[in-house]
């Protein structure tokens, strides 16, 4: 019985812990559950990409992400203007060499930014897949 309790407790603790994946340019993906994935910066001057991240990709020069906002504002983030409402997918581009974070963007704005900055990435990675 004691071994079963230890195994169950270990499983519970491992499923409740936050996940963290280092990206590039001092940014990381924080995974706190299926609907709470965001991209944060280790630096206090960096800008965050709020939850919920649906897909992302990165290399040494860029981070790109798609995001569906949570239904209510998280007090940890500055006010973000979701111009098409909260039930829309938005896109983000982080350009490391100019310390620029573009977003939230609609799909056509995202495509224009990808072309303008010569971003060689597609949205391939999905948290919790």
Q: In the predicted model, is pLDDT for residue 106 greater than 80?
A: yes
Tell me which residue has tokens 């812990």.
17
pLDDT tens by residue, 3-61: 543 433 344 444 444 689 999 999 999 998 777 899 999 998 889 999 999 999 999 99
The Cα 24–Cα 81 span in angstroms is 25
Rounded CA separation 128/104 (Å): 22
**pLDDT for the residue 70:** 85
The pLDDT, as a whole number, for residue 65 is 97
Flag whether pLDDT at 75 surpasses 80: no
Beta partners for residue 20, in sequence order: 30
> Quick check: 90 pLDDT over 80?
yes
Closest CA to 38 of 21, 25, 26, 24: 21
Domain ranges of the chain: 19-116
pTM of the model: 0.81
Q: Look at residue 50 in the predicted model and tell me its pLDDT.
A: 93
Rounded mean pLDDT of the chain? Answer: 84
- Residue 122 pLDDT more than 70? yes
Rounded to 5°, angle at Cα 40 from 36 and 120: 100
């Amino acid at each position: 019985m004691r071994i079963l309790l230890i195994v169950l407790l270990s499983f519970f603790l491992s499923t409740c812990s936050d996940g963290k994946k280092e990206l590039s340019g001092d940014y990381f993906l924080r995974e706190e559950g299926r609907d709470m994935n965001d991209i944060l910066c280790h630096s206090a001057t960096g800008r965050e990409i709020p939850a919920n991240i649906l897909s992302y990709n990165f290399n040494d020069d860029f981070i790109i992400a798609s995001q569906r906002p949570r239904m209510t504002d998280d007090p940890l983030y500055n006010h973000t203007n979701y111009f098409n409402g909260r039930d829309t997918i938005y896109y983000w581009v982080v350009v490391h060499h100019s310390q620029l974070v573009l977003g939230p963007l609609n799909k056509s704005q995202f495509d224009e930014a990808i072309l303008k900055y010569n971003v060689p990435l597609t949205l391939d990675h999905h948290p919790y897949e």
